[in-house]
Amino acid sequence: MTVDNASVKEDEMKNSSLHKFFISALKDIYYAENAILEALEKMQDAATTDELKDAFEDHHLQTQKHIKRLEKVFGLIDEKPEKKECEAIKGIIKEGEEVIKSTEEGSMTRDAALIIAAQKVEHYEIATYGGLAQLAITMGHDKAAELLERTLQEEEDTDEELTEIAENFINFDAEKEG
């Protein structure tokens, strides 16, 4: 038999439901990261304190890296980076925009609310990257798993940093605003 076993296996893998789901979820988070990039700019502009503005600016830079990493992950599994509209992240981002509309400019209440909105974004990303990294490991895409885990770690760190900013700088003053 001269059939190339490796390529037969690869074809089987590409037809598997799990592989298809993996690609579809990658397209979803690729769309989400691009939408988040835009949202972070608006949130940075709208924030009251320098601490929060800086945190949003730092995460904007990280988000650019997340997009590049996803493009690498697509490449590693022979797929082209493609976006699939994601209703969940659109809803979470819309909530952030509503926070900006419904809070007073320059208030600490705005920052307290923006932090919660931003953490909802991070939690969506953490759930997605956590799941995708595990799937990548299961399917033997070790290099892809490593990239997804690196982004997962940055999302978790950002989430923690936002909690710290809320506790150290913002929530107490927001409470005093009445």
Phi-psi region of 140 (alpha: psi -120 to 50; beta: other; left: phi over 0): left
Contact call for residue 141 and Fe ion (CB under 5 A): no
Cβ–Cβ under 8 Å, residues 143 and 80? no
Cβ–Cβ under 8 Å, residues 166 and 112? yes
Q: Which of 66, 69, 110, 141 forms a contact with Fe ion (CB under 5 A)?
A: 66
Q: To 5 degrees, how large is the angle CA 156–CA 61–CA 54?
A: 80
Contact call for residue 111 and Fe ion (CB under 5 A): no
Nearer to Fe ion (CB atom), residue 24 or residue 64:
64
How many residues of this chain bind Fe ion (CB under 5 A)?
4
How far is residue 27's CA from residue 71's CA, in Å, rounded to a whole number?
Answer: 10
The piece of 79-87, 111-119, 122-130, 142-150 that touches Fe ion (CB under 5 A) is: 122-130
The piece of 8-16, 74-82, 87-95, 153-161 that touches Fe ion (CB under 5 A) is: 153-161
DSSP per position, 130-155? HHHHHHHHHTT-HHHHHHHHHHHHHH
The piece of 3-11, 90-98, 120-128, 137-145 that touches Fe ion (CB under 5 A) is: 120-128
The piece of 11-19, 38-46, 60-68, 84-92 that touches Fe ion (CB under 5 A) is: 60-68
Q: Which of 117, 125, 141, 148 forms a contact with Fe ion (CB under 5 A)?
A: 125
| Shortest separation between residue 65's beta carbon and Fe ion, angstroms | 8
| Shortest separation between residue 136's beta carbon and Fe ion, angstroms | 16
Q: Which amino acid is located at 41 in the chain?
A: E
CB within 8 Å of 33: residues ≥ 6 apart = 63, 66, 67, 70, 125
How far is residue 147's CA from residue 106's CA, in Å, rounded to a whole number?
Answer: 38
Contact call for residue 28 and Fe ion (CB under 5 A): no
In the complex, which residue's CB is closest to Fe ion?
Answer: 66
Residue ranges that bind Fe ion, judged by CB under 5 A: 63, 66, 125, 155
